[in-house]
Amino acid sequence: MATSLSFISIQLQQIPCPLKQGQQTRRFSNRRLVINPIFATATGTAPPSTTVPDPKNLPIRKIPGDYGLPFIGPLMDRFDYFYNQGREEYFKSRVQKYKSTVFRANMPPGPFISTNPNVVVLLDGKSFPVLFDVSKVEKKDLFTGLFMPSTELTGGYRILSYLDPSEPSHEKLKRLMFFLIKSTRDRVIPEFHSSFTEMFDLLESELASKGKANFNEANDQAAFNFLARAWYATNPADTDLGLDGPKIVGKWVLFQLGPILSLGLPKVLEELTLHSFRLPPSLITKDYKKLYNFFYESATPLLEEAAKIGISRDEACHNLIFTTCFNSFGGMKLLFTNMLKQIGRAGTTLHAKLAEEIRSAVRSSGGNVTMKAMEEMELMKSVVYEALRMEPPVPLQYGKAKNDMIVESHEAAFEVKKGEILFGYQPFATRDPRIFDRAEEFVADRFVGDEGERLLKHVLWSNGPETESPTVHNKQCAGKDFVVLVSRLLLVEFFLRYDSFEIEVGKSPLGFAVTITSLKRASF
């Protein structure tokens, strides 16, 4: 997800599809597998960048803003963040007030959960990347921000996501996650196809009977099934866990993220139950045990590898649960929904271009979905990157200054003292108008062409630039290429099957709720 998604680069298997030159079909099936490497690149043409060259000598400016009175200031900022303004306006209004993208403010949860809500906020594409530099910032216990959920929710262990790279366990656990992906790569493509074909069938059935279909719920089940089948060679429905996985994970995540979520409850109730006090871990113990049993019974080869690395089976199992359910399932839950929302809103012209490009590349590849064919899908690749730019799955990042340092925005330089907490809201950095033309718009072909490829260094969803790679010594998402792969596969599977679709979009506690109102099956 490690960061939001704990994955590693894998090799993409080719998926044959019976679509021959000149042949028309509505379905794609009978697929075999061939293995090829994956590369995350984009070529073609792209809209111009509005990047402004950095001046050689920026003026030193005092960081504007303040934290207000103890207790009162953080509480007022929390009310603004959740209720009076909302998250985006909370940041926008302060940028306008201070005429700076770097300022001081309080971040939730504040009283009575976090002891120090004071942060230095970074809201532009130049200052934000300091949060990735582990030579300058410490990442210990900052995965969820200014509070750390009880370790009772994770078997008594501090999970990989909360470890700084300087801690000995970080390298061991990240190596285990690398092994997880590498050792199961042969199952990824067929299980993705199988799981999401089931999802499409379900959506069509629900659409036929009710006139609309809930994408979020169907996607949740497909994503969980895919991860369990691909990584653990186990179908959840055939175990005691059954189909309960996504619901249990949803409750478990709420117990961890409740202090920084808004569920739309009455203000007083939400403040008392989520933002001021922690939910008792004992309330989720029984459900979590059910998850633990499923993973412990299904992950024998991985637990054996963990023992070789020097990690106990118990600690490894809890980390695998977190990687699979919080990082990976959570990432697919958010990213796939956001991607479908953006493409749905873009309309039928984009749908037609994607369908034509994807199917043409498949035909040219002999009717197979191959790595070569995927690399030729310039628009499809750009759409994935643009979705990741517009709405990164994990928008909040934190780091603690290791020493006194200078942080630069486009306009000024700021002195940060050792021990201060730096915070960045990533969508503002990846929608920086000094870097991206039409920064607030979803531009489907933004990353097509040489100029588009140069812009990839400003796509930061993986807790690092898209042009850099994860290692055991940094906090970049270990599965950066894997996430790009499964996102591409979703679009390929979708537009091999459908010409276009229509949606309705609502709100959900973790993002958006997408309802599908129309699916037009492939006509060519």
- Residue-level pLDDT at 372: 85
Token pair recorded at residue 29 = 């099936």
Give residue 5's pLDDT: 37
* Distance separating alpha carbons of residues 434 and 414, to the nearest angstrom: 19
Element (H, E) at 205: helix 185-210
Q: Give residue 403's pLDDT.
A: 98
Question: Would you say 333 and 8 are in contact if contact means Cβ atoms under 8 Å apart?
Answer: no
Q: Is 211 helix (H, G, I), strand (E, B) or coil?
A: coil
- Are 319 and 174 in contact by the 8 Å Cβ rule? The answer is no
List the structure tokens of 210. 């009710």
Taking the C-alpha atoms of residue 491 and residue 362, their distance in angstroms, rounded to an integer, is 13
Q: How many whole angstroms separate alpha carbon 226 and alpha carbon 187?
A: 10
The 3-state secondary structure of 294-325, one letter per residue: HHHHHCHHHHHHHHHHCCCHHHHHHHHHHHHH
Residue 516's nearest CA partner among 332, 336, 330, 352 is 336
Question: What is the average pLDDT score of the chain?
Answer: 90
Which of 36, 18, 94, 41 lies closest to 370 in space, CA to CA? Answer: 36
Identify the CA nearest to 142 among candidates 123, 159, 162, 122: 162
Which pair of tokens denotes residue 195? 């799981």
**Encoded tokens for 490:** 């979703």
- Local confidence pLDDT in tens for the 524 residues of the chain: 444 333 333 333 333 443 433 444 333 344 433 334 333 333 333 444 444 434 458 999 999 999 999 999 999 999 999 999 999 999 999 999 999 999 999 999 999 999 999 999 999 999 999 999 999 999 999 999 999 999 999 999 999 999 999 999 999 999 999 999 999 988 988 899 999 999 999 999 999 999 999 999 999 999 999 999 999 999 999 999 999 999 999 999 999 999 999 999 999 999 999 999 999 999 999 999 999 999 999 999 999 999 999 999 999 999 999 999 999 999 999 999 999 999 999 999 999 999 999 999 989 998 887 778 889 999 999 999 999 999 999 999 999 999 999 999 999 999 999 999 999 999 999 999 999 999 999 999 999 999 999 999 999 999 999 999 999 999 999 888 888 999 999 999 999 999 999 999 999 888 899 999 999 999 99
Q: Whose CA is closest to 370, among 43, 41, 35?
A: 35
Cis peptide bond N-terminal to 109, omega within 30: yes
Angstrom distance (rounded) from CA 34 to CA 160: 33
CA distances from 507 to 285, 387, 502, 504, 510 (A): 29, 18, 17, 10, 8
Q: Distance between CA 358 and CA 350 in Å, rounded?
A: 12
Max distance between CA atoms of the chain, in angstroms, equals 72
Contact 340, 495 (CB under 8 A): no
Residue 246 burial (CB count, 10 A) = 20
**Which backbone phi and psi does 502 adopt, to 5 degrees?**
-130, 150
Tell which residue, 259, 243, 162, has the closest CA to residue 202.
243
| 381 phi/psi in degrees, rounded to 5 | -65, -40
Among 476, 448, 457, residue whose Cα is nearest residue 42: 448
> For residue 187, how far is the Cα from the chain centroid?
22
- The pLDDT assigned to 370 comes to 77
Phi, psi of 233 (to 5 degrees): 55, 35
Pairwise CA distance, residues 108 & 84, whole Å:
14
Judge whether 503 and 355 are in contact, CB under 8 Å. Answer: no
CA distance 163 to 118: 21
Q: Distance between CA atoms of 310 and 300, rounded to whole angstroms? A: 15
Query: Got the DSSP string for 111-131?
Result: TTT-S--EEEEE-STTTGGGG
Pick left, alpha or beta for residue 197 (phi over 0 → left; psi -120 to 50 → alpha; otherwise beta). alpha
Q: Which residue has the tokens 């749908």?
A: 351
Predicted pLDDT of residue 259 = 97
Alpha helices in 433-515 (DSSP H): 449-454, 480-497
Residue 394 DSSP class: S
CB contact set of 327 (below 8 Å; sequence gap of 6+): 1, 2, 3, 4, 5, 6, 161
Shortest CA distance to 128 belongs to which of 418, 422, 490, 444?
Answer: 422
Q: Detail the DSSP E strand segments found in 233-377.
A: 368-369
pLDDT at 56: 58
Q: In what order do the strands lie in the sheet with 511-521?
A: 213-214, 511-521, 498-508
